[in-house]
Amino acid sequence: MPRQPNPYFRVTVYQLHGPLSSETLIRAKYLDSPDFATQEVQIAGRDSLFVRGSISTDQARWAPLVSGWMQDPSLVNGLGNRTAAAVLLMPTNHPESGRVWAMTFGMGFQMLEAATIDPGLGRRLLIRCGEPSELRSVTHSRLDSRAYVARTSIPGGADIHGFGASELGDFVSRIVAPAVVEGLLAGTAGARVEIRAADSFNAPLARHAHQLVADLDAIEIILDREPIPELAVLEHIRPIKSSDTVVPILKGKLDVALGNQDDLKLGLAWPTEFADEAMPFSHFEISGLPQRGAVAQGHNLEDIVAQLSALPDGHRFVRLEKMKIQAFSDDNDPISNLLPARQWLTFETNANDRRFCLHDGRWYVVDEGLDVLLSGRLKLIFNTPSPLGELPFWPADMDEPSYNQVLANHLGGVCLDRKLIQCAVNRKGFESCDVLTPDGTYVHVKKLGRSTGASHLFAQAGVSAQTLLDDTTALPALRAAVMNAGADPGWVPDRPEKTVLVMGNKNRLNEKSLFAFSGMRLVRLADECRRQNLELFVAPIAYSP
């Protein structure tokens, strides 16, 4: 007998905000293309929409390059691409909620209007039905403007702590785990199914139309539950609804920050949905600029802010909403979708006695417990006196390298700023510190303007400490550099014992000043140092006129 097909199949599902309308939920470029069409359909009695077509190119992007090498264009004639793409749009069981299911096929995910996607749908589902001790793959990012992303797979499964994710602000963007979804055809009689969760979820759903609708209704019920206690930590940072009364206040605060070059709470981050692809980009293109039809290239946060900072108050956020950004590789190939510019920014502020942050284009409220924990840890770090004592005067117009020399003279130490130490594990070299004191204290100095600078400072201190502890060739190389700088190589201890972070800003920083995600990075750095028997201190200083 022929083998009977499974009564279910794997499908990727999103939830979108908006009415059941292709004009609202599908990108205009596809609706306007003659290669795509929209059809009204019925799925088990529910009025739905099916948008389908194909993405085609007459010639592969690499074809001209190859033909140029061979000097024979005929060899690549007809080497084009044709890729199917489709989206099935179906109302949820509660259409009054303004949400629509979107099942994507082939390249269909590219057709969705990004601004309508409900972020974190898959994560919310798995947090409520996953097996907490049997997570198989976790992708988590450190929300500190470094775009640090780690994807770890453990075939036998482990709990969330087994994947190195920290409860202090690590944002879990993808999870793969078995789950028991009551009411799901594939999970009948308590059977476990594997769910792959991100902003969408991928799970086995029923082939039969009526059972498919029942499966989606069952998932909708699970989404209304409370999280499983062991996984609740993944919701320490929770999204807020766009209709929340605090959102206009948050938008106003972001508008002001976009015009303030010294705001520490505005940063750049890779959009979560694409960050774990680990594809480096050489540049991004910014469209939707004030000049009609103009496109700007950029590499960092300042390139985005530069398009907005000159606009008057109240106009910057409005323009930001119209801007879109797409990342490109060294070969000028697009490696991300065309995304709203706000999805590339991170921002943190306080309102109504709560801490809020913008990440991946969505506003989040920081859980009070996490906020209290972070604030308490930062206060302890900032209130511990630095062994450097009173720091020397830092004129507002003095740059960082000049102050490093002033500080070295004041401490009787040696300036090692930009003197890279090469060793076995780091052939290109690392910065051991900016100033080394006679008692072997490593001093790292940063003139902070944006959160990116704070992250760089913490990263430099962390890399230096870890390298000096782990690589036996690093200490001799550092001692040689100290001697070449005219100081005593005996100042270099056999292992690092004290590190001080000097943080300059126009206002003296404290535990409430740092960008929340930078604060989380500082706490993690302090924990890493403590595990290595290394004391970490901070020494904030305000520039003087």
Residues composing the chain: 545
- Give the Cα separation of 266 and 271 in Å (integer): 15
- Give the Cα separation of 115 and 113 in Å (integer): 6
Q: What residues in the chain have per-residue pLDDT under 50?
A: 144-147, 275-278
Buried b (16+ CB within 10 A) or exposed e, 28-67: eebeeeeebebeeeebeebebbbbbbebeeeeeeebeeeb
The answer to whether 367 touches 237, Cβ cutoff 8 Å, is yes
Per DSSP, 187 falls in state G
**According to the 3-state scheme, what is the secondary structure of 117-177?**
ECCCHHHHHHHHHECCCCEEEEEEEECCCCCEEEEEEEEEEECHHHHCCCCCCEEEEEEEE
* pLDDT reported for residue 166: 64
C-alpha atoms less than 13 angstroms from C-alpha of 383 in its C-beta half-sphere: 8
For 81, the 3-state DSSP assignment is: strand
* pLDDT reported for residue 146: 47
Please calculate the CA angle 171-176-177 and round it to the nearest 5 degrees: 115
- Give the Cα separation of 436 and 413 in Å (integer): 6
For 508, the 3-state DSSP assignment is: coil
For 386, the 3-state DSSP assignment is: coil
* pLDDT reported for residue 161: 72
Indicate the angle between helix axes 121-129 and 209-223, nearest 10 degrees: 80
* Whole-prediction pTM: 0.60
* pLDDT reported for residue 207: 92
* pLDDT reported for residue 292: 78
